[in-house]
Amino acid sequence: MISKSSYLYKLLPWAVTCILLCPIIAIFLSAFVIDESGSFSHLIDTVLLTYISNSILVILFVVLLSILFAMPCAWFVACCDFPSREKLQWALMLPLAMPPYIIAIVYTDLLDFTGPVQLALRELFSWQSIDDYYFPDIRTIFGASVILALSLFPYLYLLLRSAFLTQSAGLFQAARTLGLSPIKAFWRVSIPLSRSAMAVGVSLIAMETLGDFATVNYFAVHTLTTAIYDTWLELGSLTTAAKISSMMLLAIVVLISLENYSRRKQQVYQRNSNGSVDLRFTLTGWKKWGVLGFTWSLVSFSLFIPIATLVYYAVHYFTESLNDDLINYTMNSLWLAFLVAILALAVALIVNFYQRLSPGFAAKSAIRLSSLGYAVPGTVVAIGVLIPLTSFDLLLNDFLLSWDLPPVGLILSGSLVILVLGYLVRFSAIAVGSVDSSLVQVSPSLELASRTLGNGPIKTLWRVNIPLIKKGMLTAFILVFIEAMKELPAALLLRPFNFETLATYVYQFVSDEMIEYAALPALMIIALGLIPFIVVNRLLEKKR
């Protein structure tokens, strides 16, 4: 429905898509570049296998633990009735706002030899030294996995809960009338039907785990992500870092394919849903107490205990923590997140409206390609933007020198441009998806009505589409804002000299094991993530 002369409609979205895709292509191409320094082959000969096996082990443990945490919770909340169920369905989402490295430092502090737990045990049993008793060490692969699972299980919980809620109540009823008890019906009907939701959740968690840098690095577990960080910052080999990144990209492609495949199947399973609200069965006696104990313990371990510990330290070290640095870095984080969220929203509007104005394969491809960055870990994205931007800076300076002009230095790769671009590559997909999902709810006949009532395509977008997707746009903005506030690996690698965000500031204290100083800024990150998170969920609930 666009006139043939309107190339701008197509040029702009494709230009945006190309910019967002450039880092991923750069990583892909780097796999074929010959490593002249030899550090990659050295890595292969020495520690690469350990890194790979560690990465796989962490992913495996995190996924298993997340299923263990999320599946029972999702079922209890969706299908059972017990006191505090409504509060719990909320509380179980909130750990998503907790950066895992913050949970990590809290538990290390609590469970260390000098921490309150071991102190209490020693006092209770009159043990004198570490040789008198056994206490598991948290700084292991398994310890890191537990911490990551505590922060990531809500992804799976949310997907499974909605799968249980939207499964056709009729199917469950049919199973009951065929003689199955509620629990048997759950195992034989609900669980098989939620397999695709499970696969989507598991692949999301696997991707997040693969991308985690701070937690595994804090526990000295060497994975592929920490390897990228080390090779670039310590060895200075961008080629090697890029080659490791391309290996991770391959793993991500496999996980995305699994996720996409499962999502398609999920749509089939969730058709004709009419909710299973009426089928909730009331828990009483030991079952009720068991469920309450399990679910609220999980919320406590992932949310209340970390927050309470941080509050304790923040109060005790308030005057030392509240300084100009904290205020400056908070402001840095806030305006950076704001800028990235605005830009991501612009990207989302450009590609989505392109699809709306000229639907077809080309527009769909633009949306898909511009969203590729969402699955790519921050560290990999960082390397991806470093490659083209440093090359550009070097070429520009060479060019200026060849004309006897003064060099301009690293105007892109040494400035905030690279950080903003890195964030955009990583987070645009969230905005694109959010705008897309609210735009598909706008009936096409509304646009046709506006067109036949004398409005051109742009006027129609302005008068009909934009007012109708305002909530979706706000959701997109807030979601990107939260992610940008929390993002650590890309910030660590891409920030200009002397530029700190709240996350890098906290991480600095975390790596120096100074929880007392990390507490207040960590609470700021959590609050700045939690509040918008609650706002978004309220918005989405109203939309339903």
Could you list the residues that contact other proteins (CB under 8 A)? 1, 3, 443, 445-446, 448-456, 463-464, 467-468
CB of 443 to other proteins, least distance (A): 6
- Cα(18)–Cα(421) distance, rounded to whole angstroms? 12
Q: Residue 31: beta bridge partners?
A: none
What's the DSSP call for residue 282? E
CB 248 to other proteins: min, Å:
40
Give, in degrees to the nearest 5, the angle at Cα 283 between 282 and 285.
140
> Which CB atom, from 316 or from 364, has the smaller least distance to other proteins?
364
Closest approach, Cβ 117 to other proteins, in A, equals 55
Amino acid type, 414 = G
In angstroms, give the least distance from the CB of 449 to other proteins.
4
Pairing label, strands 281-282, 80-81: parallel
**What is the secondary structure of 221-262 as a DSSP string?**
---HHHHHHHHHHTS--HHHHHHHHHHHHHHHHHHHHHHHHH
Shortest approach of other proteins to residue 447 CB, angstroms?
Answer: 9
DSSP-assigned beta bridge partners for residue 81: 282
Residue 282 phi/psi, 5° resolution? Answer: -80, 130
* CA separation, residue 387 to residues 30, 115, 217, 252, 495 (Å): 9, 44, 24, 20, 15
DSSP letter assigned to residue 374: G
d(CA 28, CA 37): 19
Identity of the amino acid at 233: L
Q: Smallest distance, Å, CB 446 to other proteins?
A: 5
CA distances from 504 to 76, 420, 482, 522 (A): 38, 15, 15, 10
Quick one: 250 or 453, whose CB is closer to other proteins?
A: 453
The distance of closest approach from Cβ of residue 453 to other proteins in the complex, given in angstroms and rounded to an integer, is 4
Q: Which is nearer to other proteins, 469 or 528 (CB)?
A: 469
Q: Which is nearer to other proteins, 273 or 455 (CB)?
A: 455
3-state secondary structure of 499: coil
DSSP code of residue 129: S
Provide the minimum distance between the beta carbon of 474 and other proteins in the complex, in angstroms, as a whole number.
14
Task: Kindly state the smallest distance separating residue 315's Cβ from other proteins, in Å.
Answer: 47
Q: Write out the DSSP string of 93-140.
A: TGGGGS-HHHHHHHHHHHHSTTSHHHHHHHHHHT--SGGGS----SSS
Residue 222 CA, chain-centre distance (Å), reads: 21
Q: How far is CA 104 from CA 153, 187, 542, in A?
A: 15, 34, 35
Nearer CB in complex with other proteins: 464/485 = 464
Quick one: which of 461, 426, 440 has its CA closest to 347? 426
The answer to whether 505 and 326 are in contact (CB under 8 A) is yes
**How many CB atoms neighbour CB 90 within 10 A?**
12
Q: Residue 81: phi, psi to the nearest 5?
A: -125, 125
What's the min distance (Å) between Cβ of 463 and other proteins? 8
Are the beta carbons of 267 and 66 closer than 8 angstroms? no
Least distance (Å) between residue 536 CB and other proteins: 20
Give the chain's radius of gyration (CA, Å): 25
Nearer to other proteins by Cβ, of 455 and 504: the residue is 455
**Closer CB to other proteins, 358 or 511, in the complex:** 358
Compute the least distance from the CB of residue 349 to other proteins, in Å.
17
Closer residue to other proteins in complex, CB, 254/446: 446
